[in-house]
Structure 1
């Protein structure tokens, strides 16, 4: 066995790392952060995620765990006539810093093959708006390419940003309407 083989006889591969970033104009970083710091509320924002429920702890406190299910991945077989299982993960909040508007979480269990997955989401102000950055690393995922994961995270973040901005715009309309009545 070669020196770079692990005890299972397969070559160790470096972790995949990636980054997605989405800019939002006309909204404040603090407004977007309020949505993200609700750790148990991801299903309101992430596309195709049908379930996000607390299974341990208090939302926004390190150590809390959420169960997320129902999301579609780039490698789901759309042509399969057989009953497809529901994708799910358990995600643990590792750290959160409201002042820096950043949170880090890991996937601790699931059926999508993400091992050693850790993500950090950051919201930061910029001129006339803000941006959301999603950094991640994971052991190579069987049946995926890094490009699949990059696409999954990037497209998910685009939809999240759009939904958050739309929610803020709807709120502003409601507030204008209620103040004029």
Structure 2
């Protein structure tokens, strides 16, 4: 009997930053191992192998937010590999290699783009987080999108605050 395949989950999430330019926002995102400084749900993000900023770089991310940090079996973690880094287009793509979260296949792209008003005047920028993933047992697709949207909005607020502090 053939195995029934579920449709892959795909989503594109947007965070709007009023004021900052893509050039001001990009430095916070182009460091692939800086994620724990932006994401309140992560305790650790460190380089495992590879060259910073180059495809092939692997990072280890871990969180105790969703469990008891004193119990190693409750720590959620993933190894993620940088696939593409394009500073000119201010975007990068990565894939999850190994994890204990239940992801079997996950590829994401993060992109920073200008945001213009009706008169085509730049008024800030957008961070776009798009991903394709196989369904995760115990999660609904909407659960994953809601969680990632929370992460993206949190990152955007942290970046906005950091830019305001340095320029104000």
Partner of 1:116: 105
Q: CA RMSD in A?
A: 1.7
Q: 2:61 aligns with which of 55, 59, 68?
A: 68
Unaligned runs of 5+ in 1: 174-181
Q: Distance in 2 between matches of 1:146 and 1:165?
A: 28
Partner of 1:93: 82
Q: Distance in 1 between matches of 2:64 and 2:103?
A: 14
SS of the residue corresponding to residue 154 of structure 2 reads: helix
- Deviation, 1:165, is 0.6
Q: Does 1:128 align with 2:128?
A: no
Contact residue 20 and residue 154 of structure 1 kept, 8 A: yes
Q: Distance in 1 between matches of 2:10 and 2:56?
A: 23
Contact residue 47 and residue 71 of structure 1 kept, 8 A: no
Q: 2:166 aligns with which of 154, 165, 171?
A: 171
Partner of 1:13: 6
Q: Distance in 2 between matches of 1:114 and 1:31?
A: 32
SS of the residue corresponding to residue 44 of structure 1 reads: helix
Contact residue 97 and residue 103 of structure 1 kept, 8 A: yes
Runs ≥4 residues deviating over 3 A: none
Contact residue 64 and residue 74 of structure 2 kept, 8 A: no
Contact residue 49 and residue 69 of structure 1 kept, 8 A: yes
Unaligned runs of 5+ in 2: 116-121
Q: What is the 5 A alignment of 1:42-61?
A: 42-61=35-54
Between 1:83-92 and 1:37-46, the stretch displaced more is 83-92
Contact residue 102 and residue 122 of structure 1 kept, 8 A: yes
Q: Does 1:41 align with 2:57?
A: no
The 3 A distance-change label for structure 1 pair 71 and 92 is farther
Using the size of structure 2 for normalisation, the TM-score is 0.90
